[in-house]
Amino acid sequence: MERELCFCIEKKELYLEQVLVDYMEIPIFFLCKNSVQYYLALCIDIDELNYIVTKASISEIYNLLHGKIPMRDVILQQEGYWDVLSGEEVSMDTVTKHLIGELNKSFLPEEGACFEILTEKMEEFVKKFDNEHDKSQKEFYEDGSLSIDVSGLNFEIGKCFDLGICLLEQQFAPEINLYEYCIPYYEEQALLKNFNNMEKWSNDVLSSIAV
């Protein structure tokens, strides 16, 4: 099945992953994804096809899909968002970046409103999402490391990877932003404090790669 291109943001192509809420078959709240990163898109003007788009980590998407966090909260806990005004083609969209504090909260879903699984199709998507991501999250939470398969490459990443991850990108996969992909896991585990030890761990990270 051909993937539907939704947005092009900062030279990254975002494809439709799943419509979460629609209105008269128009996607209102939906998931997009590039090669590694999930994004949430919210239509704030159906007539003008104006959207706000934010990044979201795998665990945030998991909690959203399972009704463990209100829909608006997933957006508000991000650092920033993109305002996208659709053109005749994706390449003609007008895209501007803003801090999350600049967002008009009246555009967001109601406070406390959580996503609900209402159809069999949505239930199938959530089960598929869980199956795809449960293993990597379980491995990470148990031993503090993370195994990632991206574009045919397998990366075994240790607890501290900041400098090492940049070196990995340059040496093995310059087209893949592994730092952007991994950072949500480490933020959740409060391991960012270890990033000051970058040099100490960079060699370990580099030597742990398996292609």
Does residue 202 have a pLDDT over 50?
A: no
Which residues contact residue 17 at a Cβ distance below 8 angstroms, ignoring those fewer than 6 apart?
A: 30, 31, 32, 33, 38
Query: Has residue 185 got a pLDDT over 60?
Result: no
Distance CA 158, CA 156 (A): 7
| pLDDT at 99 (0 to 100) | 97
The pLDDT assigned to 2 comes to 75
User: CA 63, 118, 73: angle at the middle one, nearest 5?
Assistant: 30
The pLDDT, as a whole number, for residue 139 is 44
- The larger pLDDT score, comparing residue 102 to residue 199, is at 102
Q: CA 165, 168, 171: angle at the middle one, nearest 5?
A: 155
pLDDT of 194 over the 50 cut: no
At 90-122, the pLDDT tens digits run 999 999 999 999 999 999 999 999 999 999 999
pLDDT value at residue 134: 67
For residue 176, the 8-state DSSP code is -
Section 42-54 average pLDDT:
95
What's the average model confidence in pLDDT over 6-13?
A: 94
pLDDT at 132: 81
Stretch 143-159: mean pLDDT: 48
Q: For residues 56 and 74, is the Cβ–Cβ distance under 8 A?
A: yes
pLDDT, residue 58, reads 87
